[in-house]
């Protein structure tokens, strides 16, 4: 085989590979581009589903600015409620559980002309590798409109399901299920994800003040959404990487048992 012929074969191989790579990329009318990394075999999500997603977020130069794998737990959010950027809403809705995609996100489907300082500059194209881990059953009782209740300290609560059991008091052991979210809707902690309830003694400063105050007003079997101002949550210090300083927190709390 002469060198000229060998070079032609190499060129054909390169062009063929390039064409296959381009053909793998799918463009949508919104401007989102994506490539399938792994095709999942589970069901597709629909608006209102609670999704668990692992992801890596990168700038175009490959700089990683966020990574759920490093944190050790996936993000959770409700699809269709504007809790994540538009590209995620669109890109994940057509995936199957178990699938993994590379999303190439134009600025208008990401963080736009404001960016997300200091990590993401304005008008930045982003690259996300997203993995749809699971579609979790959502407790639909928390979607039911309920009676509002406010406290003098600034806590706002929505009672979705009235309880009829025991009312907790100082020194009692309480068992709860909860989901904790930032005001953006981003879930930062959940007993449902861990697969077990949380138990503690009321009045021993084991939990944030907002929890204590809310639980004193609840009865066993009750479900409430509790909106907690920063001074009754994690204050100016926040909580590690999960809760920024001065964050208003939203908890969906179910009082399972009082002993």
Q: What does the pLDDT read at residue 15? A: 44
Out of 75, 78, 127, 128, pick the active-site residue: 128
Q: What does the pLDDT read at residue 19? A: 41
Out of 111, 188, 234, 251, pick the active-site residue: 111
Q: How many CB atoms lie within 10 A of CB 180?
A: 23
Q: What does the pLDDT read at residue 49? A: 83
Cα separation, 86 vs 30, in Å, equals: 10
- Residue 143: closest CA among 217, 48, 51, 230: 48
DSSP letter assigned to residue 93: H
Cα separation, 90 vs 109, in Å, equals: 9
Is 65 considered catalytic here? yes
User: What domains can be seen in the chain, in order of their start residue?
Assistant: 25-136 (3.10.50.40), 140-258 (3.10.50.40)
Given a contact cutoff of 8 angstroms between Cβ atoms, the answer to whether 126 and 57 are in contact is yes
Out of 78, 85, 120, 228, pick the active-site residue: 85
* CA distances from residue 219 to 7, 93, 125, 172, 224 in whole angstroms, order as listed: 78, 38, 49, 13, 10
Out of 34, 55, 188, 234, pick the active-site residue: 55
Is 24 considered catalytic here? no
Per-residue pLDDT of the chain (259 residues; tens, 9 = 90+): 454 544 454 444 444 444 444 558 899 999 999 999 999 999 999 887 889 899 999 999 999 999 999 888 888 888 887 889 999 999 999 999 999 999 999 999 999 999 988 889 999 999 999 999 998 766 666 665 667 888 999 999 989 899 999 999 999 999 999 999 888 778 889 888 788 999 999 999 899 999 999 999 999 999 999 999 999 999 999 998 889 999 999 999 999 999 9
Q: What does the pLDDT read at residue 10? A: 45
- Residue 252: closest CA among 134, 150, 159, 165: 159
Given a contact cutoff of 8 angstroms between Cβ atoms, the answer to whether 50 and 132 are in contact is no
Is 77 considered catalytic here? no
Cβ-proximal residues to 170 (8 Å cutoff; 6+ apart), any chain: 202, 203
Is 85 considered catalytic here? yes
Q: What does the pLDDT read at residue 246? A: 94
Out of 66, 142, 200, 216, pick the active-site residue: 66
């Amino acid at each position: 085989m002469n060198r000229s012929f060998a070079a032609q074969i190499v060129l054909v191989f390169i062009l063929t590979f390039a064409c296959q790579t381009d053909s793998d990329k799918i463009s949508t009318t919104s401007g989102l581009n994506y490539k399938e990394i792994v095709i999942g075999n589970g069901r597709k999500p629909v608006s209102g589903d609670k999704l668990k997603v692992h992801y890596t977020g990168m700038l175009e130069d490959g700089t990683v600015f966020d990574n759920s794998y490093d944190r050790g737990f996936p993000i959770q959010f409700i699809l269709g409620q504007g809790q994540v950027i538009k590209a995620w809403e669109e890109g994940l809705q057509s995936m199957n559980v178990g699938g993994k995609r590379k999303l190439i996100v134009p600025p208008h489907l990401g963080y736009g002309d404001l960016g997300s300082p200091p990590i993401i500059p304005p008008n930045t194209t982003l690259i996300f590798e997203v993995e749809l881990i699971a579609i979790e059953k959502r407790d639909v009782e928390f979607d039911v409109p309920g009676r509002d209740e406010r406290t003098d300290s600034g806590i706002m609560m929505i009672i979705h399901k009235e309880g009829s059991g025991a009312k907790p008091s100082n020194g009692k052991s309480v068992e709860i299920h909860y989901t904790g979210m930032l005001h953006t809707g981003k879930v930062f902690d959940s007993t449902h994800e861990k697969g077990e309830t949380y138990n503690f003694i009321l009045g021993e400063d084991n939990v944030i003040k907002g929890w204590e105050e809310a639980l004193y007003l609840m009865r066993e079997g009750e479900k409430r959404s509790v909106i907690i101002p920063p001074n009754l949550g994690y204050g100016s210090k926040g909580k590690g990487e999960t809760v920024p300083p001065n964050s208003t927190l939203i908890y969906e709390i179910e009082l399972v048992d009082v002993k």
